[in-house]
Chains A and B, each alone.
Chain A
Amino acid sequence: MTTQQIAQLLIEGNPASPTPAFSVRCTGPWTVQGIGPLEQQLETQIWPAATDLIIDASDISALDTTGAWLLHRTVRALEQLGKNIRIDGLRPEFSILLNLIATRTAHAKYLPPPKAGVLDRIGRRAWNRMGYLFNMLAFAGEAAVVLLRSLMRPHRLRWRPILHNLQTSGVEAMPITGLLSFLMGVVIAYQGADQLQRFGANIFIVDLVGLAMLRELSPLLTAIIIAGRSGSAYAAQIGTMKITEEIDALRTVGVGPHELLVLPKMLALIIALPLLTVFADVAGIFGGMVMASSRLDVSFDVFLNRLGDAVSLSSFLVGIVKAPVFAAIIALTGCYQGFQVSDSTDSVGRQTTVSVVQSIFVVILADALFSIVFNWLNL
């Protein structure tokens, strides 16, 4: 037994001479751990010019499949150069292995799939994007049809998952929504305080905070929080269910995935998001109030008295009306991306990311459209 740690192939004597004054000796462990340096050596190996070669393998201390493959590959390459190779002294168990490798490699050719050209890839991508658009529309359409069908027969609605979703996407989101909205109110009041004080218009802090929060910020802020919190969860849940074939199982037992998974989420969010928005309104205005009383000497009493005059009912409603639309966008995008998951765990992560990015994008886009429409209607 040698204590040699790496495999070696030694050519002794003068390799350039045609006479058999040299020998090819293989030593050491020809194993996956030991053949690293040897493989590099073989790449540039200069072989003797003689046509008949004898490889002395009696000093190979260990041989595994990868080592046997390297030996086999080397021998085959030499044979293709027109040499006759004989392997001497290989231990019987190693010969069995080498023979096994030789017989198995007849069909062990690994062909990587051909790489597509640039134009090909661009074309495919564009085509896929088009497909996404149509799929998304089809998905929204299907959801609408299922929604209408369910609303015509309300007793068939699945109240249990709806209530469950109300709990997880609505009630459980209250602390974070409230906190962030409160901070947003504080920030707005803080930023406004300096400017207003300069003109002695302290009381207008109420208009600033009230209108900004109610009309614009709290619906948008709530929608963005929910898109990150629940939209991603929808995508991940449905995506994982797709991988574990649970979606297929639902179909086979005659339950539409839309009815069980999409509709309850969408309905629950359509109920929850306006409520959360009202909650965010309250928290945001409270934040503004706290700031106003500490920085501008506008007490809570004065603030609340002014609020009724400063903010009309329509301003409040403008904010609330947007919420159900945002809810539908978030639920549909999240669920749609969940269904887009293919069979790898990678794609769960990818589609979850896409769902959040897309729903926030579409929510802000929709908000801009609302602004234009409301402006047009003089609201």
Chain B
Amino acid sequence: MEALKNTQAIIDVRELHTRYGAAVVHQNVSLTVRRGEIFALVGGSGCGKSTLLRAIIMLVRPVSGSIKVFGQEIIGLSDEDALPLRRRYGVMFERGALFSSLTVAENVGMVLREHTQLSPRLIDEAAALKIALAGLPADAGAKYPSELSGGMRKRAALARALALDPELLFLDEPTAGLDPLSASGIDELVQNLRDALGLTIMMVTHDLDLLWHVADRVAVLDGGHILGVGSMIELSQSEHPLIREYFYGPRGRAAREQPWKKK
């Protein structure tokens, strides 16, 4: 059972091609994300990480190829057919994308109100629970996004992404723009969530600490191609010059030496 679980592909991308107008973003990208793993996409700015994520969450339509999520082909899916799938997704956007006219608790509760038949009382309680799970103090629920600091806004966005108890969580740059303390808080949070809720997590990040600490497998993207996929240890032994550059730059080395103290 356990072995079967671990090999089950939650996301299966095959020979994906995407384009923005004339600019080719992806060429022949294939990758697999397995159940229960924390999968990270890395690469230089503009290499198409976020576009790949957006293609999987059905915001960008690829030119050709196939993307299967929970075994279902999502390319060409109508909005109506996509709805049951979208309920199993949680997405945390890079800049939070919280609804600025709602409080944090309303932001979280809105999703529940929209998609479940729970009573208002239980929705409020569930929203408070998600806010606590995301590591925010209880009084943050009554605040508006504009009253929160950057780190708290990320956590609030995470609370909203968790609202429907998704099986699959997408994080776009979860630690970007955070101070090191908040960032390591997010590291821990991501790992706790996976362990406690059995989530599958796919994230886009530049944060090498986050990669070393929590990512099970990492795919390196460059110029629309995947250069390599594997655990950080495997990738750090790769011979590919671009991968070496990525992980053995001055920042890469510092981040690599840390985890051995921690783990």
Interface, chain A (partner B; CB < 8 A): 31-33, 35-37, 39-40, 43, 64-66, 69-70, 73, 93, 96-97, 100-101, 104-105, 107-113, 243, 342-347
Interface residues on B, range: 35 or more
Instruction: Output the nearest chain B residue to A69 by Cβ-Cβ distance.
Output: B129
Contact A36 B129, beta carbon cutoff 8 Å: no
Roughly how many angstroms separate A67 CA and B165 CA in the complex, as a whole number?
10
Contact B165 A344, beta carbon cutoff 8 Å: no
Roughly how many angstroms separate A101 CA and B87 CA in the complex, as a whole number?
22
Roughly how many angstroms separate A35 CA and B99 CA in the complex, as a whole number?
27
Contact A69 B126, beta carbon cutoff 8 Å: yes
Roughly how many angstroms separate A157 CA and B206 CA in the complex, as a whole number?
44
Contact B165 A32, beta carbon cutoff 8 Å: yes
* Residues of chain A lying within 8 A (CB to CB) of residue B137: 107
| Interface residue B198 (Cβ < 8 Å from any Cβ of A) | yes
Known contacts A96-B195, A110-B125, A346-B100; 9 additional CB pairs below 8 A are: A32-B116, A39-B118, A43-B119, A65-B162, A97-B196, A100-B196, A108-B125, A109-B138, A343-B100
| Chain B 123-153 interface mask (CB, 8 Å, partner A; 1/0) | 0111111111100011101101110000000
| Interface residue B117 (Cβ < 8 Å from any Cβ of A) | yes
* Residues of chain A lying within 8 A (CB to CB) of residue B11: none
Contact A344 B117, beta carbon cutoff 8 Å: no
* Residues of chain A lying within 8 A (CB to CB) of residue B63: none
Roughly how many angstroms separate A129 CA and B132 CA in the complex, as a whole number?
38
Contact B122 A108, beta carbon cutoff 8 Å: no
Best-surrounded residue of B122, B128, B130 (most CB of chain A within 10 A): B122
Roughly how many angstroms separate A32 CA and B111 CA in the complex, as a whole number?
11
* Residues of chain A lying within 8 A (CB to CB) of residue B139: 111
Contact B131 A36, beta carbon cutoff 8 Å: no
Partner of B142, one of A66, A113, A346: A113
| Chain B 183-217 interface mask (CB, 8 Å, partner A; 1/0) | 00000000000011110000000000000000000
Contact A32 B101, beta carbon cutoff 8 Å: no
A108-B131, A111-B138 in contact; A35/B118 too (CB < 8 A)? yes
Partner of A344, one of B101, B112, B122, B130: B101
Distance from B59 Cβ to chain A, minimum over Cβ atoms (Å): 19
Contact B196 A110, beta carbon cutoff 8 Å: no
Contact A32 B142, beta carbon cutoff 8 Å: no
* Residues of chain A lying within 8 A (CB to CB) of residue B101: 344-347
Instruction: Output the nearest chain B residue to A43 by Cβ-Cβ distance.
Output: B119
Roughly how many angstroms separate A345 CA and B102 CA in the complex, as a whole number?
10
Instruction: Output the nearest chain A residue to B135 by Cβ-Cβ distance.
Output: A104
Roughly how many angstroms separate A97 CA and B196 CA in the complex, as a whole number?
6
Contact B129 A108, beta carbon cutoff 8 Å: yes
Contact B138 A108, beta carbon cutoff 8 Å: yes
Contact B165 A65, beta carbon cutoff 8 Å: yes
Distance from A243 Cβ to chain B, minimum over Cβ atoms (Å): 8
Instruction: Output the nearest chain B residue to A112 by Cβ-Cβ distance.
Output: B142
* Residues of chain A lying within 8 A (CB to CB) of residue B128: 108-110
Distance from B122 Cβ to chain A, minimum over Cβ atoms (Å): 6
Roughly how many angstroms separate A64 CA and B122 CA in the complex, as a whole number?
14
Partner of B144, one of A31, A35, A64, A344: A344
* Residues of chain B lying within 8 A (CB to CB) of residue A113: 142
Distance from B153 Cβ to chain A, minimum over Cβ atoms (Å): 12
* Residues of chain B lying within 8 A (CB to CB) of residue A65: 126, 129-130, 133, 162, 165, 197
Distance from B56 Cβ to chain A, minimum over Cβ atoms (Å): 22
* Residues of chain B lying within 8 A (CB to CB) of residue A100: 133, 196
